[in-house]
Amino acid sequence: MQENIVTLVDEDGKEIEFEVIMTLEAEENEYAILMPLEENEEEEAYIFRLEEQEDGEYSIIPIDNDEEYENVVAVYETLMQEEGLE
């Protein structure tokens, strides 16, 4: 198993593999930017909040708050501009 690949199960029970593009911190939380490995029309990345569990493992939590999502996108865009990737 590659370390930067995670498998998530969608609402239909289908397993989808994602590559972890990057992790970042925003508003004192840690987030992961995930890109699906299988081709899709949108070529869209997904943002999930990472929450550390008591056993040291991480849970990947979907973001359902628009303000939280916008904050993470703003941090991501700033990081990309600083690295000259946009």
**Domain count of the chain?**
1
d(CA 59, CA 81): 29
**Amino acid 29: pLDDT:** 95
Give residue-wise pLDDT tens across range 18-73.
999 999 999 899 999 999 988 766 678 899 999 999 998 889 999 999 999 999 99
The whole domain housing 63 covers 5-82
Q: Do residues 69 and 46 touch, judged by C-beta distance below 8 A?
A: no
What letter does residue 42 receive in the DSSP assignment?
S
Q: Do residues 30 and 23 touch, judged by C-beta distance below 8 A?
A: yes
Q: How many CA atoms lie within 13 A of 1 on its CB side?
A: 7
**Amino acid 84: pLDDT:** 74
pTM: 0.79
